[in-house]
Amino acid sequence: MVTIHDVADAAGVSISTVSRVMNQSPSVSKKTQKRVLEVIRKLGYVPNAAASKAAHKHNKYIGVLFPDISNQVFGRILQGINSVLAPLGYNIIICETNGELDKEIHFLNILKEKQVEGYIMASVTIPQDHLMWIHKNRRPLVYVCQDLPKFDLKVPASSVNMDNKQAICDMVHFLYHMGHHDIAFIGGPLSDPSAGKCRYDGYMKGMKECRLQIRQDIISFQEAFGIHDGYQGMHEIYEHAMLLPTSVLCACDNMAVGAIDFMYDNSIQVPRQVSVTGVDDSSLAACIRPSLTTIRHATNDSGVKAAQLLLEYIANPDFAGTAFKTPYQLLRRQSVRQLMDGSK
């Protein structure tokens, strides 16, 4: 069994530093935090209390509920989850929910009957139906890629997610410093509090901080986050815009691919005429041409952290839970053009 001493030795830090990293202390530098988290992931370390309790279980199951199991983002998260739970003898039961509330509640109940010890879940929204179910059934749950909403009753739940608002704000600043002033936005449904509303809020925040004009004719919201939705969003902007934007910030990579597809069909050159950015760093992002400038997040480490938080709950029912913010990285590729002096 890997101990905290093993992690400290491998990372070249003290045991107290490892403890501070796992407790998200701001006193640890980002460089040290990254090194320690990488060692934790590689060694598959979990806190002793959780590991000890897990070791004495016979039938150990964890439910994982994702809206789309073909999505590479969830694949990366699942690898991280498995790297922590598999060495402890846990069996992972994976359910595909399509982001539908009825299916999510159905699978939660089915998994409860199978006596799973906890859940890790990605959900389009987190309605009160979820939180009431968790409160009633007292099954620990960790959300990934979504933020916990405020809820009056105490629930054994945590979240692992990037700061979507700040990440998109950073992308606006990046485009601005590349000379872009007319920045369009193609977003998903605002009913999705994380990938929908927070990313739109980040766009608005960035535009205001850069003192750029917010043009409603180059903002489009779609019902989902697919390639077709990005195509439709770019079509709407093309039809309604009084002046074509110099860049389009899309709420995810799939939408960005759809936007690029529309522009190809209409002889608009990317990035010479219009630059495009996405979010996720999906497998498509590096493969398409031009390769897509995007934001990488939800890596293996996100799954590792989600599994570790779940084990904390299993070991200690009084664990208070947390909203853990994962790091993200802006990746500049071919789809963004540098404009000289802000001109087209």
In CATH, what number is assigned to the domain containing residue 311? 3.40.50.2300
User: Do 182 and 139 belong to one domain?
Assistant: no
AA letter at 177: H
Residue span of the structural domain in which 144 resides? 52-162+301-328
- The structure tokens listed for 59 are 């039938």
The continuous run of DSSP H or E covering 91 comes out as strand 91-96
User: Do 7 and 131 belong to one domain?
Assistant: no
Q: Which ranges in 44-71 belong to alpha helices (H)?
A: 48-55
Would you say residue 38 lies in a domain?
yes
pLDDT at 344: 42
CA dihedral sign, ordered 242, 244, 250, 256: positive
User: Do 129 and 171 belong to one domain?
Assistant: no
User: Do 241 and 269 belong to one domain?
Assistant: yes
What's the rounded Cα separation, in Å, for the pair 186 and 198? Answer: 13
Please compute Rg for the chain using Cα positions: 21
- The structure tokens listed for 78 are 């699942």
User: Do 121 and 152 belong to one domain?
Assistant: yes
Which among 141, 140, 145 is positioned nearest to 123, based on CA atoms?
145
CATH of the domain at 3: 1.10.260.40
Stated pTM of the model = 0.78
Domain count of the fold of the chain: 3
User: Do 157 and 306 belong to one domain?
Assistant: yes
User: Do 90 and 209 belong to one domain?
Assistant: no
What's the rounded Cα separation, in Å, for the pair 286 and 141? Answer: 33
CB 342 within 8 A of CB 181: yes
User: Do 142 and 172 belong to one domain?
Assistant: no
* pLDDT block averages, 10 residues each, the chain of length 344: 79 81 73 85 69 56 92 90 90 92 90 90 85 85 89 84 96 98 96 93 98 97 95 97 96 97 97 97 92 92 92 83 91 94 46
Would you say residue 337 lies in a domain?
no
Which among 203, 194, 252 is positioned nearest to 225, based on CA atoms?
252
